[in-house]
Chains A and B, each alone.
Chain A
């Protein structure tokens, strides 16, 4: 018998406890939408021009084609791992497109699209996936852990939530230096269970740091559903506890996501503190190429979400508005497929491995004695027996 049961009496009956205090229900955080079911929108909420909207649509199409092609390359064994954002393009591009050029982006691991938007060349991204001599990370990281300094796109970490306080620190630094910059930090609903989520939101709230917290609530943290991450009815309501602005947005509605992010950025710059945006979306595919979602979720859960595909919704809106013709979707997809194909060819032209010394570069600003000596040790071993270099790995 557990000590607790003993305290409660031999039969384990507990003293009656008060029911839990009422928590805010989802209704307290209604899902903000701009794109209506009939493919129209309130004109007042559409702040982007037709050209900007079409550009956004092109990016989303490119990202979709990229994801599909990279999964294919992984299946062929040409890249080791891939983690895509199929179905979540509106959450990625709606947020990133609302930030100014000087703002920093702290990605989770599903926001390659934001890096591309910030100027990461497509072929360089594919080199990163291959870990070859063209990889901006010098082959130091597994695929999908890119960083892109020229685009102020921070480095991706596999541990969950660690980027949240880092984003707070960067935005805080900008404020200390009297520079106008807002950090945008992405994470999934799984990260809201991590200690760095709590510490990051808490610190940002206390010090009113100009940061936008963008939670892509895509329903699943690998195989664990949202209901097993939090007992709260929404993620947005968590903002209350930290004294932040919280908002629940249709994450498949790129116009709604863009508008909410733009408002959050403006609030941050006005000194009104950070915002927590819950972008309600859905992960149409697996967590990564390493899992099969059929093992843990029924297809009937997925199917309704396919109808809410953010690409289809934006396309229908643009066609109805006359900004795109009806055949444009297929044409743009074909163009994007070609663009991805060219990037793959360009990337695969690089040598498969970066030079040996790059393994020891970047540990410190200048290699210390251990790195210098160990590089020489490895060189001597390779000179004696080339088999030391091994193969491409598994």
Chain B
């Protein structure tokens, strides 16, 4: 198996799906000849041509609105929003249109498309190149939200997202675009949406994370092991659909939960996870559920590594939870 980074895995998934299905098209700003600012679409223009790899005018609402129309007509568009921070001009198209199209037409129409977007901090990007907007979309019924943490998952989950009958937001953790490397199966393969991955088995505390934060959680769990704390780490992979069985099963086993995400704490997805665990695992809980998150400030530039939940802060929460 070849060793890929996340960018290469995304590129491989797009290439294979475009070869498999002539209806798959890629569109966005700079995705064509230039191959995307992160090179995720490199080589696609040369292989599939300007009809299927489309450099659009710079207009996020227009990119998503036209992708929606393409999807209605039967294509499988994969629009790229260059940075997740730029997704807000397209919010109306995503939240009011894409998410609701099937429901509002009573199931007569559907618009399967995959909005790819690099997200998250740690790349010295300031607040317009660092945000984690997943919670905005998770609050909207009709959307699926997927966040890979490894190259293998990036390929397998993107393939599933493209084949999915519903609209999917596919957030790629750009801090680890090149840093995360791993063996990726060659050729066609898909990882079903809605299956979390228990990456480390343990008995004392469950650590829930996704995207780049999974790597920090994994690091914190390794350090906790040195202190004699036995962590179970779960990479959620897809936040909608959510693999509640794996999450609840793990928390019932360990009796403790630490939730990690980059986005600000208030109304972050950690709040939803925490409430769900409390509702369904109350009698199993040995300690309050802990959240290790970004802070309730805009994403800062200079102090971004203080803002981001890194392994030491996660480790503190693990210790406090276990010793409660």
Contacts and interface: CB of A to CB of B under 8 A. Distances in A.
Interface stretch (A13-21, A194-202, A229-237, A291-299): A194-202
Nearest to B69: A169
Interface stretch (A57-65, A153-161, A308-316, A331-339): A153-161
Given A140-B103, A166-B72, A173-B73, A195 B57 contact: no
A385 to B, nearest CB: 21
A174 to B, nearest CB: 6
Interface stretch (A86-94, A262-270, A358-366): A358-366
A292 B319 CA distance: 65
Contact of A174 (B64, B73, B77, B109): B73
Contacts of B166: 364-365
A169 B68 contact: yes
B224 to A, nearest CB: 31
Contact of A166 (B75, B97, B241): B97
A365 B241 CA distance: 12
Contacts of A177: 23, 73-75
Interface residues of B, number: 48
Contacts of A162: 65, 92-93, 96-97
A168 B75 contact: no
Nearest to B52: A176
Interface stretch (A75-83, A141-149, A216-224): A141-149
The residue in A138, A165, A177, A202 that gathers the most chain B C-beta atoms within 10 A of its C-beta is A165
B108 A196 contact: no
A157 B105 CA distance: 10
Contacts of B66: 165-166, 168-169, 172, 200, 203
A164 interface: yes
A364 B102 contact: yes
A70 interface: no
A372 to B, nearest CB: 11
Interface in B106-127: 106-110
B135 interface: no
A199 B57 contact: yes
Contacts of B52: 176
With most chain A CB atoms within 10 A of its CB, the pick from B57, B69, B141, B142 is B69
Contacts of B93: 162, 165, 196
B69 A172 contact: yes
Interface in B220-245: 240-242, 244
A144 to B, nearest CB: 12
Interface string A360-394: 01111100111100000000000000000000000
A162 B92 CA distance: 8
A368 B245 CA distance: 13
A96 interface: no
Given A202-B59, A203-B59, A169 B70 contact: yes
B165 interface: yes
Given A162-B96, A169-B73, A199 B65 contact: yes
A309 B48 CA distance: 52
B102 A165 contact: no
Interface residues of A, number: 49
A268 B114 CA distance: 29
Of residues A135, A171, A173, A196, which shows the largest number of chain B Cβ atoms within 10 Å of its Cβ?
A173
Contacts of A155: 101, 104-105, 108-109
Interface in B48-72: 51-52, 54, 56-57, 59, 61-62, 64-72
Contacts of A137: 104-106, 108
Contact of A159 (B74, B92, B165): B92
A394 to B, nearest CB: 21
B65 A200 contact: yes
Contacts of B67: 169
Nearest to A366: B165
Interface string A104-147: 10100000000000000000000000000001111011000101
B105 A176 contact: no
A214 interface: no
A172 B142 CA distance: 25
B13 interface: no
B314 interface: no
A310 to B, nearest CB: 30
A157 B96 contact: yes
B89 to A, nearest CB: 7
A165 B65 contact: yes
B273 interface: no
B25 interface: yes
A167 interface: yes
> Which of A137, A157, A166 lies at the interface centre, i.e. has the most chain B CB atoms within 10 A of its CB?
A166
A171 B72 CA distance: 10
Nearest to A145: B104
B239 to A, nearest CB: 11
B78 to A, nearest CB: 13
A206 interface: yes
Contacts of B70: 169-170, 172-173, 176
Contact of B69 (A141, A145, A173, A207): A173
Contacts of A369: 241-242, 244
Contact of B61 (A145, A174, A199): A199
Nearest to B276: A370
Contact of B75 (A154, A165, A173, A199): A173
A157 B142 contact: no
A138 B72 contact: no
A363 B241 CA distance: 12
B220 to A, nearest CB: 29
Contacts of B56: 203
Interface in A181-230: 181, 183, 195-196, 199-200, 202-203, 206-207
23 contacts: A140-B106, A141-B106, A147-B104, A147-B105, A149-B109, A154-B109, A155-B109, A159-B92, A159-B97, A162-B96, A169-B67, A169-B70, A170-B70, A176-B70, A176-B75, A177-B23, A183-B69, A196-B61, A202-B59, A203-B62, A364-B102, A365-B102, A365-B110
Given A165-B69, A169-B68, A173-B71, 11 more contacts: A136-B106, A137-B106, A138-B107, A140-B104, A141-B104, A149-B109, A157-B96, A168-B62, A173-B70, A199-B65, A369-B242
Q: Please provide the 7 A-B residue pairs with the shortest distance between their CB atoms, ordered closest to farther.
A: A169-B69, A165-B65, A199-B62, A169-B66, A173-B73, A365-B165, A147-B105
Interface of B: 23, 25, 51-52, 54, 56-57, 59, 61-62, 64-75, 77, 89, 92-93, 96-97, 101-110, 141-142, 144, 165-166, 194, 240-242, 244
